Amino acid sequence: MKNKPFFILLLVLTFFACQEDHTQRNLENARDIKKKELVFANINKAWGFVFSNLNSENQHIINNWKGWNDFKNEAKQKPKSTIGAFQQKAKTLSKKMVDITIGLPYQFNNNQVKSRLKVLTTKINSLDLYLHLHQIPDQKVITLIKDINTDITSVEVQIDEVLKRSKIKVEEGEQDLIQILNTSRAIPTVKANIPAN
C-alpha cells in the first residue's frame, strides 16, 4: 500500500514523457517533410536535359543510332510527381546508358566519341546514386545536371566534328603518305646471321 502513490506518480510521469516524445516526433516529421519538399522543388526546377539538332544531312545517321535516340527520348521526359519519380527516371537513364554503344554507327566507333560517352555514363550513374541516398544532396544533384548537359553537348559536338571530317575529300597520294607514316606497318629490321670465317 505504501508504494501505491509512488506507482501512480510513476505512471503519470511516464504518460507525460510519452506525450512530450510524441510531440517531438511530430515536429521532426514535419521538418523532414518540409526539407524533402524543398529538395523536390530544387531538383524539379533544375531538371532538364538539352539536346541540339544536327543539320539535316547528318540527321539520318543519328536517327539510325537506337541507343542514343532511346537515351535522348527518355531524358527529354521530365518526371513530375515525387522525388521517387526522379529516382526512377535516373535509374532508367542509367540503364539506357548501358545500351548506348549498341548499334553505334561505325563513324562514331572511335576513342573521341567513346570517351565522351563514358564520361556521360559516369555522370548519369552518379546522378542515380545521389538521388537514391537517404539524405539527397540537392545542390550536388543540380550541379551534376549542369555537368550532364555539358557532357551531352560535348558528345554532340564530337559527333558533328566526326561527320564534318568524313566529308573532307582525301587528296591524291594522302592515303599512301598515311600508310608510310604508320609505324605499326614498318618493316622490322632483322639482323642477318653472317657466318664468321
Q: What's residue 126's pLDDT? A: 94
Residues contacting 97, CB < 8 A, separation 6+: 71, 117, 120, 121, 124, 125
Percent of the chain surpassing pLDDT 70: 76
Q: Are 147 and 130 in contact (CB under 8 A)?
A: no
The DSSP secondary-structure symbol of 171 reads P
Dump pLDDT digits (tens) for 100-151. Answer: 887 788 888 888 989 999 999 999 999 999 999 888 898 999 999 999 999 9
Is 66's pLDDT higher than 80? yes
Determine contact, residues 95/117, Cβ cutoff 8 Å. no
Q: What is the pLDDT of residues 40-54, one digit of tens each?
A: 889 999 999 998 876
Q: Please state, in angstroms and rounded to a whole number, the distance separating the CA atoms of residues 131 and 91.
A: 9
* pLDDT value at 85 more than 80: yes
